[in-house]
Chain A
Amino acid sequence: MYDSDKIIPGLIIFVLFITFPVWYNHGDASAEPKPELPKGVKECVLPVADMRAEHMQLLNKWRDEVLRDGDWAFDVKVAGKKYQKSLMNTCMECHKSRKKFCEKCHKYASVTPYCWDCHFAPVE
């Protein structure tokens, strides 16, 4: 092999760079975050799997409908009670803590929604 003084360091840098996540995580797969669920309430506005996958789309839709059309009505009853399209009055009524609920997963997955640019988070 020619120029091995340049090729071998180059290859080592390449392999270290590609395998960066292996070194960075120290071989430790941290446990999945467990957001704190509200006590005593079993139902949400959508089934759990749908909420997990689509809550951001629902909130985005709610924001547009409420802010642009003034349409607050949400025609799904949860446990016999009617709710508004509202982050603060509907979601946060049960999920009271931003830190213990929202941010548990958002931090883990590095998601930074801009809800709190306008809304005040509940005081904790």
Chain B
Amino acid sequence: MKYTFPLAAVIALVLIAWIGAQIPGMQYLFGIAIPYLAMALFLGGFCYRVVQWAKSPVPFRIPTTCGQEYSLPWIKQNKLESPVNASQVVARMALEIFLFRSLWRNTKATVYDGPKLTYESSKWLWIFGILFHYSFLMIVLRHMRLFLDPVPGFIKALEFGDGILQIGAPTMYLSEVTILLALILLFGRRIFNRQVRYISLANDYFPLFLIFAIVTTGILMRFFLRTHIDIIAIKRLAVGLVTFQPAITTDIGAIFYVHLFLVSTLLAYFPFSKLMHMGGVFLSPTRNLPNNSRMVRHINPWNPDIRPHSYASYEDEFREDMVEQGIPVEKELPKKADD
């Protein structure tokens, strides 16, 4: 099966960190060296990929238009589906980036009695996706409390909102529940939807399993395997990492290094995988170009420099050969002097 290899890979990663972090001295590898390397790969790889994309020419307008284009004054233009200027494109892109609007076009073909074929908007993927992405964003922002000293007010406000149910101690966060739910739903979709299962590859399952493992180790560390989870030492390490003065001041439980190693893997894997849709959503020419082909002349930048070549100059160039081959010419060859 296509999910066995990614699953085995994630289990192997967990074991590497679990066993490795218990060898004396290896904490510096898993706690300091690998996170720095992963962050460098993430930033460098991300910029590299974006620059590579920016080097690919997009000579013509190729937006996917799904509505009435700008036309005569009494025909109503669909400004979001067929934008013609920058502000309309910005509105379209903002809805895409913040609300994943194009996923509403995920359709499902169904045959009813009749027979009648319909293509209805299937919004499940959109729901699972939005649940996942906003939970993930919340979790990343909440983690800033471990990297920032003093902790800014808006991070505290987010934490308060996320833990508003005040269940248990340490407080359960809503985003922990929603991201687990979303991951199970996204994985279930790949397993139970036959068409999606058919097109799912190992590189679709791997990020799902990896993020699932990150979330699971995080939850285990927070609530269940708290032995040697000294949050002060963890924060000292995290602040040390971002201030380039890293220090591991006490023994921290192995589960912490597993969590950190999996996050490092995710960061290092990010630029070379489908996860680059984070940058790609901004750079997709089918979304970010205005549909203004009828207003602006777009010239292909690599067009060869072809000069106009009139028939008269063509005949000037080839007249001798044409006459020799018996092709009629408009202007005869000049008379030779000795004729």
Chain A positions within 8 Å of B, measured between CB atoms, are: 1-4, 7, 10-11, 14-15, 18-22, 24-30, 32-33, 49-50, 52-54, 56-57, 59-60, 105, 107-114
Of B144, B145, B169, B247, chain A has the most CB atoms within 10 Å of the CB of B169
B144-162, CB under 8 A of A: which get 1 and which 0? 1111111110011001100
Give the Cβ gap from A97 to chain B, nearest Cβ, in Å: 18
User: Sorted from nearest, which 9 A-B pairs have the closest CB atoms?
Assistant: A60-B169, A110-B151, A21-B242, A21-B147, A110-B145, A56-B169, A29-B245, A29-B243, A7-B54
Give the Cβ gap from A46 to chain B, nearest Cβ, in Å: 12
Task: Tell me whether B50 is interfacial, beta carbon within 8 Å.
Answer: yes
Closest to A104 in B: B232
Task: Tell me whether B184 is interfacial, beta carbon within 8 Å.
Answer: no
Task: Tell me whether B231 is interfacial, beta carbon within 8 Å.
Answer: yes
Residues in A with CB closer than 8 Å to B152 are: 24
Residues in A with CB closer than 8 Å to B22 are: none
Pick the residue among B55, B148, B168, B239 that contacts A1 (CB under 8 A).
Answer: B55
A32:B249 contact, CB within 8 angstroms: yes
B54-90, CB under 8 A of A: which get 1 and which 0? 1111100000000000000000000000000000000
Residues in B with CB closer than 8 Å to A56 are: 169-170
Residues in B with CB closer than 8 Å to A11 are: 47, 50-51
Give the Cβ gap from B284 to chain A, nearest Cβ, in Å: 13
Residues in A with CB closer than 8 Å to B151 are: 110
Closest to A7 in B: B54
A-B contact pairs, 10 of them (CB 8 A): A2-B57, A7-B54, A10-B50, A18-B43, A24-B152, A25-B147, A25-B148, A27-B243, A108-B232, A112-B156
B242:A10 contact, CB within 8 angstroms: no
B47:A110 contact, CB within 8 angstroms: no
Interface residues in B17-71 (C-beta closer than 8 Å to A)? 42-43, 46-47, 50-51, 54-58
Give the Cβ gap from B311 to chain A, nearest Cβ, in Å: 37
CA distance A42 to B136 in the complex (A): 43
Give the Cβ gap from B282 to chain A, nearest Cβ, in Å: 7
